[in-house]
Amino acid sequence: MDSAGQDISLNSPNKGLLSDSMTDVPVDTAVAAQTPAVEGLSEAEEEELRAELAKVEEEIVTLRQVLAAKERHCGELKRKLGLSALEGLKQNLSKSWHDVQVSNAYVKTSEKLGEWNEKVTQSDLYKKTQETLSQAGQKTSAALSTMGSAISRKLGDMRNSATFKSFEDRVGTIKS
């Protein structure tokens, strides 16, 4: 079986082409011929097994070549369709996250966290803390609003003062 130029790549645009990375995969039948056979095999059985081994190794090389050609063809199709490695990564991550979300561990953990959340939010301590923080937030907001109004009023008063007008006049004459 001559795998070098054989047309078995099934509709690939690279039929019969060898992959550089696959041609240097060693298939060394000479080493197998030098190793002693398992005791109890006749010479005919040993020869038959060595022939079968050589055939299987040759088929492995051929399959690697076909796989390499298919991978190149797949890459070309993806490139023509505008699919990038990033798109593939996004899809893989999306699928992986979905798989995590439907896993038993995730579902059970989510249920347990939901139960704990329910218990915590229904507790008196949580309700009192929430009410206190809400009141503190309202009071802080009112205080900041009052302080902002006071600062605005003071700045307005300062801008209308004689000192500021005099300063403004001096700066204006320096610019001119």
User: Quick one: pLDDT band at residue 107, thresholds 50, 70, 90?
Assistant: very high
Find all residues with CB under 8 Å of 73, minimum gap 6, and list them: 12, 13, 14
For 109-127, write each residue's pLDDT tens digit.
999 999 999 999 999 999 9
pLDDT (0 to 100) of residue 147: 96
Tokens read off for 151:
């600062």
Q: Please determine, for residue 98, whether its predicted confidence score (pLDDT) is greater than 60.
A: yes
pLDDT (0 to 100) of residue 169: 82
pLDDT (0 to 100) of residue 12: 47
For 16-67, write each residue's pLDDT tens digit.
444 444 445 555 555 545 555 567 889 999 999 999 999 999 999 999 999 9
Q: Please determine, for residue 82, whether its predicted confidence score (pLDDT) is greater than 50.
A: yes
Cα separation of 43 and 33, whole Å? Answer: 12
Q: What angle do CA 118, 121, 126 make, to 5 degrees?
A: 155
pTM over 0.75: no
